[in-house]
Amino acid sequence: MSAGATAGEDGLRRCPWGLAPAEYAAYHDTEWGRPVHGDDALFERLCLEAFQSGLSWLTILRKRPAFRTAFADFSVKAVAGFGAADEARLLADAGIVRNRLKIAATLANARTLADWAPGELDTLIWSYAPEQSRPAPRTLADVPAVTGESTALAKELKRRGLRFVGPTTAYALMQACGLVNDHLADCHAR
């Protein structure tokens, strides 16, 4: 049976993944599951979730400052203007994940999003927040990897030209940005 929330060294009960190392605990306590709004902020989370695919989230958290520097703080407008020299710079940047397909998708996604109206990404993503909340998960086994809403969101993002946005990535985005609350029932952050 999967573990429920567990007390950390500070006595606070957390989702087991948020106990350690310190980067996980800070992210768990202050960011994950908290509502995120704004096109650039959501673009950052979408990009980081895509870069995480196949890797540890800890790797992404540790590289996030370098990602922010490399991708102009994830300004959609700035990244949309990146050209071949920027792509080469990104591929040579050891501070980020140097995956050619993920970098190309990030640049292409920014170019697509640059043509959207201000607030359109925010409105679109939040339109897929579940209307009814499900019971609070008691254990990690109760937390899905994909939902009907995440599948529909991924399909719509792909239909609109975005890449590296499958249902699992879309659900991770929904969790990270507070569209769903997957903190365990007895987690202090819930």
Q: Tens digits of per-residue pLDDT, 122-164?
A: 999 999 999 877 889 999 999 999 999 999 999 999 999 999 9
**Active-site residue 17, yes or no?**
no
Cα–Cα distance between 159 and 161 in angstroms, integer?
Answer: 5
Does 71 score more than 50 pLDDT?
yes
The model's pTM is 0.94
Which residue intervals of 53-166 are DSSP H helices?
A: 57-70, 76-80, 84-92, 100-114, 120-126, 148-159
- Half-sphere exposure (CA, 13 Å, Cβ side) for 158? 12
Q: What are the pLDDT digits (tens) for 54-66? A: 899 999 999 999 9
Q: What are the pLDDT digits (tens) for 10-44? A: 888 999 999 989 999 999 999 999 999 999 999 99
Angle (CA) 103 106 179, round 5°: 130
**Active-site residue 24, yes or no?**
no
Q: Catalytic: which of 44, 49, 128, 149? A: 49
Strand partners, 13: 7
73-86: buried (b, 16+ CB within 10 Å) or exposed (e) per residue? ebbbeebbebeeeb
pLDDT of 178 = 96
In this structure, is the dihedral angle defined by the CA atoms of residues 171, 176, 177 and 181, taken in order, positive or negative?
positive
The amino acid occupying position 111 is R
Q: Catalytic: which of 57, 87, 116, 126? A: 57
Q: How many percent of the chain have pLDDT more than 70?
A: 99
- Half-sphere exposure (CA, 13 Å, Cβ side) for 83? 1
